[in-house]
Amino acid sequence: MDRAMSATGAASAGSGRESSRRLDATPVAIAASGEVTALGLGRERLEQAVLANAGGLRDCPRLAGKGFQSTVGGYVPDEVWRSLRERDPAHADAPAFLLADAALREARADLRSGGRNGAPPLVSGGLPSAATADFGGGLTDTIPPSRRGLVLSTTKAEITALERAFHRQAVSALAQRHLFPALLAADLAAAHDIAGPVQCVSIACVSGLLAIQQGALLIQEDKADLVFVVGVDLCSDFVLSGFTVLRSLDPEGCRPFDAGRKGLSLGEGAGAVALARRERLALPALTVTGWGSSNDANHLTGPSRDGSGLALAMNRALRKAGVAPRDIDFVHAHGTGTSYNDAMEGMALRAVFGNPAPPYCSSKGLFGHTLGAAGLLETIVCLIAARHQLLPGTPRLECPDPSVPDSLLRTPRRVESLRRILKLNAGFGGVNAALVLEWGGA
Amino acid sequence: MSEFALLAASFIGAEGSGNDRTGLRPWPDSVAGALQRGELEALGWSTLFSSETSRFGRMELLSRLGLMAVELLDAGFEALEPAQRDAVGVCVETCSGCIAADAQFLQTPMAGTFAYTLPSTVLGEICIRHRFRGPVLCLLPVSGRGGWLEAALGWLNRGEADACVCVACDLMDKKFAASITSPHDAPGGGWQSCAILIGRRTGAGREHPLRPESLPRLARSLVIGGGHRLPPKT
């Protein structure tokens, strides 16, 4: 046959997927995390908010009068911005760098303390090397900079630099560089003594989950021993304008899966996780056991109405993890608060799990929709949930939409055993992604 | 020898367009004249294809470039069954990303423009046109190119896809590129797009060996070196 596709193995389509193998490489787990959100800097603030089911959305006075559909969102507190700028004045007009750098610092501190925030301590022998001691614990002496990697997840990086240039305001050379997400990734790696592989993933709101997938692959393919995956995005005028023209913002703040939901609330922040081979960590740890992605092939800015695209990604992740739907204890949904997204997710949950679906929640009411940081920050919420053996609630939920599965979690609930979690995100361009995370030992 | 092969390749740039069967075809004078004046809009769908696509006129230029490169593969996608389309992955790599669309949105904030202010929107357009629902990824290369092909080959090796469409596309105003920091830091100006289809070897014609270690060099020769070196039909 003459035409290429007619002659390919795609003629046996589905065979490859059906025979999809379980991850046979060394399992990769989360060794540490760092976060800065509307709730403040550090995991403790996020942890308290998850436990209390208390969101951090607020109105932002500086955005008033600009014609945005809503100015309610997850804005990083002013005092955090002040402290970040005071610590690093060279990057004062490069807020995306400041946030990502702060999350990486937190993750490194978490790693160094070997459990300061409850992360599993690293177990590795040998004497610490002075050159690498900053990475702390017993791990660093065996992981030189060339074996450390970084994967950046972002949708708009330092977009505020383009805004300022457009308005003929001064923009530093550093901020200009970070208009290009890849250069932001390179500079973050340099700032954190990471000399191994560096990648930049930018694929709408699934960027974070696919960045974790890429980070895990770097370790499984033996290209790195320690990989920092960091996600960052800003509440810029640019992005607020975009969602305003789409009429996608809820003027009163998002209410995911609520019958009266009117749209999403944007958030800004950064989340970072450090990935390492699970065998290097003291157990229990949260291990990335499966992943899957898909495209709806339907619409650029709206999800498929039947949820089939997200269901494809979920089934791919379950298959890769080698588990059945009944093995999932909890689903952390995308749950933006838009009418279409939440309805779509409800259908996808029903398609994959039937009735009843596992308990599920959305964290967008905690810190808003943080776009490129969402996958990272929400995976950290899963880490908190696993550590506390607690199913998080859905902040700001008032009256659950009767059309979505009734296992929606309104408030946090302690459970006897939370082992397997399915994490979901979806985004513009019809993209969907899912991760299977497993808490426990070998 | 890998069980996978490069099955088709295409290129579109200022020099012209073509695929591994046709080689490079220079633009007709009418189009080339417009391109020299910087009017990339002159590169209409009808310049290359006789069929119609109603979405094309609404697209931002980066998506147009990527979609045209995939169409130039001439790979017979239209004959695929739905289940086959579910097993086709799409991986995009771009240095410039969507900065041209970002600038356009700042000038005129419209919903139709905002949809294109993501580097990955081109991926969505490709999937919509061909109804591909396999795995997806969009990478912005940090150092060197080739990550897109490695990622796609990984999908094939792990059984996550049966075939992959890999697209590298870039579009940036040369003056803007020159204004951004030092030349070696920022992506260069100009525009080009390249598409590669990889899948399982069949022994049939129109296949090229695909070895992981050669992927970065292959990507470089196809994307940066220029499509004029695309191999002729085997």
The answer to whether the Cα torsion of A258, A259, A265, A270 is positive or negative is positive
Query: What is the model's pLDDT at position A8?
Result: 47
Query: What is the domain extent for residue A305?
Result: 284-440
Q: Enter the tokens of residue B52.
A: 């119609």
Radius of gyration from C-alpha coordinates of chain B: 17
Q: Is the pLDDT of residue B223 over 80?
A: no
Does residue B47 lie within any of the structural domains? yes
Query: What is the model's pLDDT at position B180?
Result: 58
Least confident of A112-121, A413-422, B119-128, B216-225: B216-225
Whole-angstrom distance, CA of residue A219 vs CA of residue A240 = 37
Query: What is the model's pLDDT at position B220?
Result: 52
Task: Name the 3-class secondary structure at A377.
Answer: helix
pLDDT in tens, B16-47: 888 877 778 889 998 999 988 888 888 888 88
Of the residues A280, A300, A322, the one at which a domain ends = A280
Residues of chain A with Cβ-Cβ distance to B106 below 8 Å are 162-163, 166, 238
A252 lies in the same domain as A338? no
Does residue A193 lie within any of the structural domains? yes
Does residue B114 lie within any of the structural domains? yes
Burial of B34 (0-12, 13-18, 19+ CB in 10 A): middle
Query: What is the model's pLDDT at position B217?
Result: 58
Q: Tell me what the mean pLDDT of segment B66-81 comes to.
A: 93
Does residue A336 lie within any of the structural domains? yes
A230 lies in the same domain as A308? no
Does residue B234 lie within any of the structural domains? no
Considering only the beta carbons, identify the residue of A19, A241, A294 that sits closest to B133: A294
CB pair distance less than 8 Å for A4 and B81 = no
* DSSP type of residue A216: H
Q: Is the pLDDT of residue A313 over 90?
A: yes
A225 lies in the same domain as A369? no
A34 lies in the same domain as A158? yes
Phi, psi at residue A364, to the nearest 5°? -65, -25
Q: Tell me what the mean pLDDT of segment A13-36 comes to.
A: 67
Virtual CA dihedral for A115, A120, A126, A129, nearest 10 degrees? -50
- At residue B209 the predicted structure's pLDDT band, cuts being 50, 70 and 90, is low
- What interhelical angle do A95-113 and A181-191 show, nearest 10? 40
Q: Enter the tokens of residue B98.
A: 């969507």
Q: Is the pLDDT of residue A193 over 70?
A: yes
A101 lies in the same domain as A80? yes
Least confident of A82-91, A217-226, B40-49, B86-95: B40-49
- The more confidently predicted of residues A132 and B141 is B141
Considering only the beta carbons, identify the residue of A4, A176, A430 that sits closest to B206: A4
Does residue A217 lie within any of the structural domains? yes
Q: Please check whether residue B51 touches A, CB under 8 A.
A: no
Of the residues A234, A265, A280, the one at which a domain ends = A280
Q: Please check whether residue B195 touches A, CB under 8 A.
A: no
Residues of chain B with Cβ-Cβ distance to A238 below 8 Å are 102, 105-106, 117
CA distances from A202 to A208, A326, A417, A430, B91 (A): 9, 32, 35, 14, 12
Q: Tell me what the mean pLDDT of segment A69-84 comes to.
A: 97
Residue B53 half-sphere exposure, CB side, CA atoms within 13 Å? 20
Known catalytic residues of A? 205, 334, 369
Q: Tell me what the mean pLDDT of segment A166-188 comes to.
A: 92
Whole-angstrom distance, CA of residue B99 vs CA of residue B175 = 13
Considering only the beta carbons, identify the residue of B76, B87, B206 that sits closest to A13: B87
Domain count, chain B: 1
Of the residues A238, A261, A280, the one at which a domain ends = A280
Q: Enter the tokens of residue A245.
A: 């023209």
Q: Tell me what the mean pLDDT of segment B111-133 comes to.
A: 96
Whole-angstrom distance, CA of residue B132 vs CA of residue B228 = 28
- At residue A12 the predicted structure's pLDDT band, cuts being 50, 70 and 90, is very low
Q: Please check whether residue B161 touches A, CB under 8 A.
A: yes
Whole-angstrom distance, CA of residue A441 vs CA of residue B49 = 57
Query: What is the model's pLDDT at position A282?
Result: 76
Q: Is the pLDDT of residue B51 over 70?
A: yes
Query: What is the model's pLDDT at position A369?
Result: 98
Does residue A21 lie within any of the structural domains? no
Task: Return mean pLDDT, chain A.
Answer: 89
Whole-angstrom distance, CA of residue A42 vs CA of residue A107 = 9
Does residue B56 lie within any of the structural domains? yes
CB pair distance less than 8 Å for A242 and B109 = yes
A293 lies in the same domain as A322? yes
Least confident of A7-21, A56-70, B90-104, B176-190: A7-21
Task: Return mean pLDDT, chain B.
Answer: 81
pLDDT in tens, A247-305: 999 999 999 999 999 999 999 999 999 999 998 887 789 999 999 999 999 888 888 88
Does residue A2 lie within any of the structural domains? no
Phi, psi at residue A412, to the nearest 5°? -65, 150
Does residue A14 lie within any of the structural domains? no
- At residue A138 the predicted structure's pLDDT band, cuts being 50, 70 and 90, is very low
CATH number, domain of B48, equals 3.40.47.10
Q: Is the pLDDT of residue B189 over 90?
A: no
Query: What is the domain extent for residue B33?
Result: 4-228
Query: What is the model's pLDDT at position A370?
Result: 98
CB-based contacts of A314, cutoff 8 Å, min separation 6? A292, A348, A352, A422, A424, A434
Does residue A6 lie within any of the structural domains? no
pTM summary value: 0.92
Query: What is the model's pLDDT at position B43?
Result: 87
Residues of chain B with pLDDT > 70, as a percent, come to 77
Does residue B233 lie within any of the structural domains? no
- The more confidently predicted of residues B12 and A24 is B12
A222 lies in the same domain as A300? no
DSSP secondary structure, A143-160, as one string: --GGGEEEEEE-SSTTHH
Phi, psi at residue B108, to the nearest 5°? -140, 95
Cβ pairs A/B, distance under 8 A? 247
A371: region left, alpha or beta (phi > 0 left; psi from -120 to 50 alpha): left
Residues of chain B with Cβ-Cβ distance to A182 below 8 Å are 95, 140-142
Q: Is the pLDDT of residue B165 over 60?
A: yes
DSSP secondary structure, A288-354, as one string: EEEEEEEE-SS-SSS--TT-HHHHHHHHHHHHHHT--GGG--EEE----S-HHHHHHHHHHHHHHH-
Residues of chain B with pLDDT > 90, as a percent, come to 39
- The more confidently predicted of residues A301 and A158 is A158
- At residue A114 the predicted structure's pLDDT band, cuts being 50, 70 and 90, is low
- The more confidently predicted of residues B162 and B223 is B162
ipTM over 0.95: no
Domain count, chain A: 2
Q: Please check whether residue B144 touches A, CB under 8 A.
A: no
A275 lies in the same domain as A309? no
